[in-house]
Amino acid sequence: MSAYRETYERWRVNPERFWLEAAEAIDWMRPPVQALDDSNAPLYRWFADATCNTCWNAVDRHVAAGRGDDTAVIYDSPITGTQRSLSFLDLQQATARLGGALKAKGVGRGDRVIIYMPMIAEAAIAMLACARIGAVHSVVFGGFAANELAVRIDDAKPKAILSASCGIEPGRVIPYKPLLDKSIELATHKPETCFIIQRPEAEAELIPGRDWEWEAVQTDAPLAECEEVGGADPLYILYTSGTTGQPKGVVRHNGGHLVALHWTMKHLYDVEPGDVYWAASDVGWVVGHSYIVYAPLFYGCATVLFEGKPVGTPDAGVFWRVIEEHKVRCLFTAPTALRAIKRADPQGEFIKKYDISSLKTLFLAGERADPDSIDWAKRHLNRPVIDHWWQTETGWAICGNPVGIESLPIKVGSAGAPMPGWDVRILDESSQEVPTGELGAVCVKLPLPPSALPTLWNAEERYRRSYLEKFPGYYETGDAGFMDEEGFLHIMARTDDVINVAGHRLSTGAMEEVLTSHPDIAEAAVVGVADELKGQLPMGFVCLNSGCDKEAETLQAEAIALMRDKIGPVAAFKLVAVVDRLPKTRSGKILRGVMAKIADGVPYKTPATIDDPTILDEITTALHDMGYAQSN
Ligand code: COA
Ligand code: AMP
């Protein structure tokens, strides 16, 4: 039996023993006796009888083991031209100071703290400081608008917000503080305290009594020790897109997260303590939580925190420069970043300029990896390029290639084989397994392994409805795909209204809600259309109120501005078609799939249930009129 098979079987035969053994790698305050608590099935908890501290395991334990001077965080910011390195000891002091300052402001165990920050070292310090004092952090990606932040403030009800005066994007400085102020104004819940880092590129005005300057507020604060928390106490909430404008607050518990993420570092990524690990993502996304901040530090690796873009900061060689300079062993990024680099440097000339001999493997996730990009990367890097598939909900890979156990064959187009912990099944509408090779809903047999979401924040009913109801006994991933003869999974599409733009997960339902809030728009549909760089882009189809005589161009500009204001630049919403009517079934369901196919110029079948087929010609004409003409 192969080593991968043997490990998977070991888990399958006795999951309890498998995870208790994995838990031995963690420093517990009270070690677990039981791994899984299934007393409230189908809701499960892991390591509920244990106590621990996540920051201790990421930071203090390495200092205690004599590795205090070793590098923990490498901040590399081509966008500001700065670099900074923090040792485990630096990180211990920084998290103890910030944790102490938060405690002095009344933030304690179980209180929520929102972190709205650019990619600076303080973002990681902020997350770890919350973990240190047992507070529950919720990081909000900087590319979201004030309105999205307000929605999260009202849901998480944070006692404090940690932010910075600005973020920096190529060619522009984005003042964060006005966005923060606006979001607090919009929100019903008012946080008591904000700590603000003043970045020299744009200083923020502070509101006396509520806002505190980051350094000043920490000056006299007592140092915080690592608080003892329950294994099934929440470590963080991370909001992700669902089908409506209300994002889902994915909850992560301390114990399961520690065990699963620690396990992945050797088995999935094949790194050793002391190696340099680089996830080129953002702390606002799950990849950033798991693999910029937590897992590398749990395992005693140094992690790179990169404030830049794959191209343009300053060029398409920046990834290879970072690898050379910091001796990165493992790079994890999204396929869209590779596409951007490939487009700017098709011959891989920049790669030749740098010594990337430290790099062993490139991992991709976040969206479907297109074979062209994988092929380009393999050819020019001459290293394994490994796709793996996971979600905000899971916190780590459901399927992949566990190179630390055994290198499985790399099959382009497949996201790998199921990892121990994940019993992946492909089901039809009636919850029956489909034959090998046939497309179906990708589901995971319950219980999910450690680190996967136990529930949604303040929304248990929604958790059951969204993930557990349709396929009883299974977790519904929302992806469609098939399992091939050799047990490799192929992810093909989403089964819901979620689209993936440059590796960012966005809700078309949320965008439709924004469009219909425009006073001249009567009805709207948003679909994902194919884009060479970003994978998908949102395209809006809008019908105007009768009597509205605005020029289509004016309306388009207003809709784009509204989306930027309400959801944020991250939505990359730039395509709007003004149409008279939307194609619908006779029962009134909007035919979004057909519209997407027309926009993509791929063949489509006119659905038998369509109310009026002539509308499809109107859609084609509208796309031609706006200069978006993909020919059928
Ligand atoms: N704060 C404020 N604005 C932000 C932001 C942030 N943290 N991050 C992105 N934005 C803005 C960008 O400036 C851009 O604004 P614009 O419309 O005015 O140009 C918009 O949001 C869209 O950003 P992005 O999707 O990053 O597109 P881009 O054109 O700037 O860059 C790529 C394209 C492919 C280089 C970029 O998307 C990328 O590096 N993707 C990697 C994806 C990734 O890491 N995903 C995480 C999952 S693994
Ligand atoms: P997120 O929660 O933002 O990480 O997005 C998760 C979704 O991104 C998944 O449900 C998939 O639709 C998609 N996704 C992530 N990784 C992959 C992958 N390797 N291949 C195909 N789709 C992926």
Burial class (CB in 10 A: 0-12, 13-18, 19+), 29: middle
Provide the sign of the torsion angle of the four alpha carbons 460, 465, 471, 476, taken in this order.
Answer: negative
Query: Is any ligand 1 atom within 6 A of the Cβ of residue 416?
Result: no
Residue type, 417: A
Query: Is any ligand 1 atom within 6 A of the Cβ of residue 503?
Result: yes
Query: Is any ligand 1 atom within 6 A of the Cβ of residue 318?
Result: no
Phi, psi of 262 (to 5 degrees): -60, -45
Q: Which ligand is nearest to the CA of 502?
A: 1
Q: Which of 336, 331, 346 has its CA nearest to residue 269?
A: 331
In this structure, is residue 378 part of a structural domain?
no
- Domain final residue, candidates 192, 207, 227: 227
Counting from 1 in the atom list of ligand 1, the atom nearest the Cα of 339 is 34
CATH of residue 159's domain is: 3.40.50.980
Q: Are 616 and 585 in contact (CB under 8 A)?
A: no
Query: Is any ligand 2 atom within 6 A of the Cβ of residue 400?
Result: no
Counting from 1 in the atom list of ligand 2, the atom nearest the Cα of 286 is 4
Sheet strands side by side (includes 489-494)? 424-427, 440-445, 474-483, 489-494
Q: Which of 568, 558, 61 has its CA nearest to residue 282?
A: 568
Q: Which ligand is nearest to the CA of 528?
A: 2
What local confidence, expressed as pLDDT, does residue 631 receive? 47
Q: Give the tens place of pLDDT for each residue, 307-354.
A: 999 999 999 999 999 999 999 999 999 999 999 999 999 999 999 999
Q: Is 384 helix (H, G, I), strand (E, B) or coil?
A: coil
What local confidence, expressed as pLDDT, does residue 627 receive? 83
Counting from 1 in the atom list of ligand 1, the atom nearest the Cα of 570 is 21
Instruction: Give the Cα separation of 401 and 206 in Å (integer).
Output: 48
In this structure, is residue 435 part of a structural domain?
no
Instruction: Give the Cα separation of 544 and 235 in Å (integer).
Output: 45
Query: Is any ligand 2 atom within 6 A of the Cβ of residue 490?
Result: no
In this structure, is residue 558 part of a structural domain?
yes
Task: Give, using CA atoms, the residue closest to atom 9 of ligand 1.
Answer: 143
Number of domains, the chain: 2
Instruction: Give the Cα separation of 539 and 530 in Å (integer).
Output: 10
Q: Is 576 helix (H, G, I), strand (E, B) or coil?
A: strand
Range(s) of the domain holding residue 533: 502-625
In this structure, is residue 257 part of a structural domain?
no
Query: Is any ligand 1 atom within 6 A of the Cβ of residue 143?
Result: yes
- Domain final residue, candidates 192, 227, 262: 227
In this structure, is residue 329 part of a structural domain?
no
Counting from 1 in the atom list of ligand 2, the atom nearest the Cα of 491 is 21
Query: What is the CA(403)–ligand 2 centre distance, in A?
Result: 20
**According to DSSP H, which parts of 363-459 are helical?**
371-381
Q: Which ligand is nearest to the CA of 143?
A: 1
pLDDT along the chain (632 residues), means of 10: 94 98 98 98 98 99 98 98 98 98 98 98 98 98 95 98 97 96 98 98 97 97 97 98 88 98 98 98 97 98 98 98 98 96 97 98 95 94 97 98 96 95 98 97 98 98 97 97 97 91 93 95 96 95 93 95 96 95 92 94 91 93 83 44
Query: What is the CA(363)–ligand 2 centre distance, in A?
Result: 13
Query: Is any ligand 2 atom within 6 A of the Cβ of residue 286?
Result: yes
What local confidence, expressed as pLDDT, does residue 556 receive? 95
Mutational pocket test of ligand 1: of 148, 309, 505, 533, the residue with most ligand atoms within 8 Å of the beta carbon: 309
Task: Give, using CA atoms, the residue closest to atom 43 of ligand 1.
Answer: 281
Q: Which of 113, 110, 92 has its CA nearest to residue 102?
A: 113
Q: Which ligand is nearest to the CA of 309?
A: 1
In this structure, is residue 563 part of a structural domain?
yes
- Domain final residue, candidates 205, 227, 249: 227
E-state strands within 504-554: 504-507, 521-531, 535-544
Q: Which ligand is nearest to the CA of 535?
A: 1
Task: Give, using CA atoms, the residue closest to atom 32 of ligand 1.
Answer: 337
Instruction: Give the Cα separation of 580 and 582 in Å (integer).
Output: 7
Instruction: Give the Cα separation of 531 and 413 in Å (integer).
Output: 18
CATH of residue 585's domain is: 3.30.300.30
Strands 361-364 and 328-333: parallel
Counting from 1 in the atom list of ligand 2, the atom nearest the Cα of 505 is 3
Query: What is the CA(489)–ligand 2 centre distance, in A?
Result: 13
In this structure, is residue 541 part of a structural domain?
yes
Q: Give the tens place of pLDDT for each residue, 368-401.
A: 998 999 999 999 999 999 999 999 999 999 999 9
Instruction: Give the Cα separation of 456 and 250 in Å (integer).
Output: 5
Mutational pocket test of ligand 2: of 241, 390, 392, 467, the residue with most ligand atoms within 8 Å of the beta carbon: 390
Task: Give, using CA atoms, the residue closest to atom 15 of ligand 2.
Answer: 366
Query: What is the CA(173)–ligand 1 centre distance, in A?
Result: 14
Counting from 1 in the atom list of ligand 1, the atom nearest the Cα of 332 is 48
In this structure, is residue 142 part of a structural domain?
yes
Query: Is any ligand 1 atom within 6 A of the Cβ of residue 336?
Result: yes
